[in-house]
Each structure stands twice: as C-alpha cells, then as structure tokens.
Amino acid sequence: MIYRPLVERGLSFRTATNAAGDIMDKTIRAHLNNIHSEDGQLQNNAYSSLMEKTEKPVSWAYEAWDELFDGLKHKDNHVRAISAQLLSNLAKSDPKGRMLKDFDKLLAVTKDERFVTARHCLQSIWKVGLAGKKQQEILLNGLARRYYECVAEKNCTLIRYDIIQDFRNLYDAVKDEKIKALAFELIEKEDDIKYRKKYATVWKK
C-alpha cells in the first residue's frame, strides 16, 4: 500500500534511505558538538570524521554554517582551527554562495594569534576555490592581499610559502593557467632571492 505511491513518484525505500543519508543525522550533530569538547580524543575523532564527510558536497552545510563561523572566534584555538578547515571544505556545499560574503571572516583566521592555528587555516583555505569561479576570484584576491600585507609579520616567509602552495593546489585541481601566472607574479615580488627560489620549488614538484 505504501510502496506503490513511492514508485509512482520515482522513489523507493532504497532511494529514500539513501537520500536521507546526507542530512544532518545524530552522528554528525554529535561530532559538531564534540568539536567543542575538552576531551582531546573526542575532539580529534569529531574533526577526522567531519573532514572526511565534507570532502564531498553535503546537504547539511547550512545547519552547521553559522556555528562554525562562530567557532572561528572561540577561545580554544583547536576549535578555531577545526572550524576554519571545515568551512573551507564546506564551500563546495554552498549553492547559495554565502562564502562570497563570509570569506573575509575565514581569511582573518590566517592572522590568528596562535600561528599554528593560522597555518591550519592557510593550508586548507584553497579549497574554497573548488566551489566555482566567483569563489576562486575572492580566494585569489584575498591570498594575494595577504601575501603583500604579511611582509612585516614574524612568520612572513612561511605564510608566503603556504600561499604559493595554495595556488599550486588550486591549479592542480582546476587547471587554470591564470592561477599559475598570478602565483609567479607574487613570487617575483619577493625581494630575497633565496626565498624567491624556495617559493618557486612549489611549482617544480
């Protein structure tokens, strides 16, 4: 009695179950809660599971969106780092284009007071560019701006290296020669020839 109407609508018990597989179930909700856990093992397990889940588009991104952006300002630097990495992954699950207006909040984490947190964000933020051309534009502009403005920062050379690596990662994924050209333009702006050569090695791998 129930199965017949499902078939008439092009559905089945199997497809209905699969369709529900991507929504925020209790396990995903628990992992999001555990990002804030003071138990390091719970927090790490939540991080690993959610990063794996968000490697592909998910349908529950907007249910987590605001709380993850709130997490970027959390007192625990681990929460800030995890939130930043998850948001970078979730950019491809953002059909409404929220990242276009929220990106600067994510980029700000690359200036986190804890450099390890800043670097976690910087090394994952390139994934925002996987969401589309508009996202690539704000990403590349933001990273180029960061490349120039970090000149007076203590870890400038590491920041610049990570930015060039971001460009390489995105280039490998989307094969847009403009990305490569911009990366080399930035490399040429490095005054110290030793570091200019170091950044260029990213493109020899």
* Contact assessment for residue 54 and residue 90, using Cβ atoms and an 8 Å cutoff: yes
Specify the CATH number for the domain of residue 160: 1.25.10.10
Q: Which domain covers residue 69, as residue numbers?
A: 3-204
Q: Per residue of the chain (205 residues), what is the pLDDT tens digit?
A: 333 333 333 333 333 333 334 467 899 999 999 999 999 999 999 999 999 999 999 999 999 999 999 999 999 999 999 999 999 999 999 999 999 999 999 999 999 999 999 999 999 999 999 999 999 999 999 999 999 999 999 999 999 999 999 999 999 999 999 999 999 999 999 999 999 999 999 999 7
- Give the pLDDT score at 43: 96
- Give the pLDDT score at 32: 96
* Contact assessment for residue 115 and residue 121, using Cβ atoms and an 8 Å cutoff: no
- Give the pLDDT score at 11: 36
DSSP secondary structure string for all residues of the chain: --HHHHHHTT--HHHHHHHHTTS--HHHHHHHHHTT-S-HHHHHHHHHHHHHHTTS--TTHHHHHHHHHHHTT-SSHHHHHHHHHHHHHHGGG-TT-THHHHHHHHHGGGG-SSHHHHHHHHHHGGGGGGG-HHHHHHHHHHHHHHHHHGGGSTTHHHHHHHHHHHHHHHHHHH--HHHHHHHHHHHHT-S-HHHHHHHHGGGG-
Q: What does R_g of the chain's alpha carbons equal in angstroms?
A: 20
Total domains present in the chain: 1
- Give the pLDDT score at 23: 63
What distance lies between CA 75 and its chain's CA centroid?
20
